[in-house]
Amino acid sequence: MARVSWGGIFPVLVTPFGADGSINETRYKALIDDAIANGAQGVVAAGSTGEFYALTKAERARLFKLAVDHAARRVPVLAGVADLRVEDVLEACQSAVAAGCAGGLILPPIYAMPSPREVVAFFAHISRNTPLPLMLYNSPRRAKIELTPALVEQLSALRTVVAIKDSSGDITQVSELVQRVGDNLRVFVGYETMIVPARAVGAHGVIAMAHQIAGPLIRAYWDKALSGDKALEDLGRDVCALYRCFQSGSYYAAIKETMSQLGRDAGGPRLPLLPLADEQKAAIAKIIADAGLERWAKA
C-alpha cells in the first residue's frame, strides 16, 4: 500500500449529544469547521474521545459519513474502528471505507489481553480483510496491551498499516518508534502535552483532545515547538492547564465539561460516564480562571 503523508494536528472529535441523548449533527459539523479553521490537518470521528464505546454501529457509521461529507476533502477523516469482536472491527472498517474515510484508528483486541503472537494475528487478519489504511493505537492504560516499538516494527510489514498513535506517555518509546519505523509509518503521539519533545525526536503529528477546545493555543504550540521561542513556556503552561481540567473527572466527561465552560458546549456524556459532580465542575472552573484559558476559547 502507498504510504500516507498524514501529519500535524488530528483532533478526535467529541460526539455532541442533545438533551434527548441523540447526536447533534449540526453541532458536530460546527466542530469540524472549527477544527479546520484552527489549523487541524485531519480529524478523527468516533474515537475514544468521541465515546465510540457508547455508540451503536449505525451511529458510528453515520458519524463516519457525516464527517467525510462535511470535511469535503479539506482534511482527511480517520474513523475510530476499535471494538470487542473481530467481526465488529471489520464491520466498522467496512463502514469507514463506504463513507470514504482516509483511514482507521485501531486498538489491539480489547479486554482479551492477547499475547504478542495473538496481537500480530489479530492485526494481520484485519489487514487481510479490509483495504482501509490503519493507524495502530497504543493505549496501554486502557487496552492493557503494550504495542512496543519492536512489535510495531513487526506490524509495519502488514500491507495496510501506515501509522501509529502512541499514548504511552513515554518519550523514550516515541523516539525509538521514530527510529525503528519512522521511514515507513507516520508516528503520532496521543497527548498535546508531548508536542515539544515528540517533535524534537521526529514524530509526525498528534492525535489531539484539547485542540477542539482551544484550537489557536494548540496550533501555536505545534508551530513554535521547535523554534525556541520564549513564548513556548507560557503556551505549554496553558496546554498543561487544559489537561488538568480533563483530569478533574472521568476523562471524556471532563473534556465535555471543559468545552461547556469555555462556550463550546457538546452536551453531556453517555453512560457509563456521568456528567461531572458540582465539586468537579468547580475544580475545572478554578483551573480555567487561574490560567486565564478563556482567551484561547475566544481566539
Cell 465542575 belongs to which residue?
A: 281
Residue 25 has what pLDDT?
97
φ, ψ at 128 (rounded to 5°): -70, -25
Closest CA to 139 of 96, 181, 109: 109
Q: Is residue 247 part of a domain?
A: no
pLDDT per residue as tens digits for the range 13-43 = 999 999 999 999 999 999 999 999 999 999 9
Cβ–Cβ under 8 Å, residues 192 and 214: no
Q: Is residue 270 part of a domain?
A: no
DSSP label of 27 = H
Binding positions for pyruvate are: 49, 207
Catalytic residue among 29, 53, 57, 137: 137
Q: How far apart are CA 119 and CA 282, in angstroms?
A: 42
Residue 299 has what pLDDT?
54
Helices (H) and strands (E) in the chain, counts: 13, 8
Catalytic residue among 28, 65, 165, 191: 165
Model pTM score: 0.96
Q: Would you call 111 a catalytic residue per the annotation?
A: no
Binding positions are: 49, 207
pLDDT per residue as tens digits for the range 60-90 = 999 999 999 999 999 999 999 999 999 999 9
Residue 228 has what pLDDT?
85
Q: Is residue 244 part of a domain?
A: no
Residue 1 has what pLDDT?
59
Strand order, beta sheet including 43-45: 8-11, 205-208, 186-189, 161-166, 134-138, 103-106, 77-80, 43-45
Q: Is residue 257 part of a domain?
A: no
Q: Is residue 212 part of a domain?
A: yes
Provide the residue range defining the domain that includes 153: 8-230
CATH number for the domain spanning 162: value is 3.20.20.70
Q: How far apart are the first and last CA of the chain?
A: 40
Q: Is residue 221 part of a domain?
A: yes
Residue 161 has what pLDDT?
98
Q: Helix, strand, or coil here: 240? A: helix
Cell 469535503 belongs to which residue?
A: 72
Which residues, at least 6 apart from 198, have a Cβ–Cβ distance to it below 8 Å? 171, 174, 189, 206
What's the total number of domains in the chain?
1
Residue 298 has what pLDDT?
66
Q: Would you call 144 a catalytic residue per the annotation?
A: no
Q: Is residue 47 part of a domain?
A: yes
Residue 229 has what pLDDT?
86
Q: Is residue 115 part of a domain?
A: yes
Q: For the chain, list residues with pLDDT below 70.
A: 1-2, 298-299
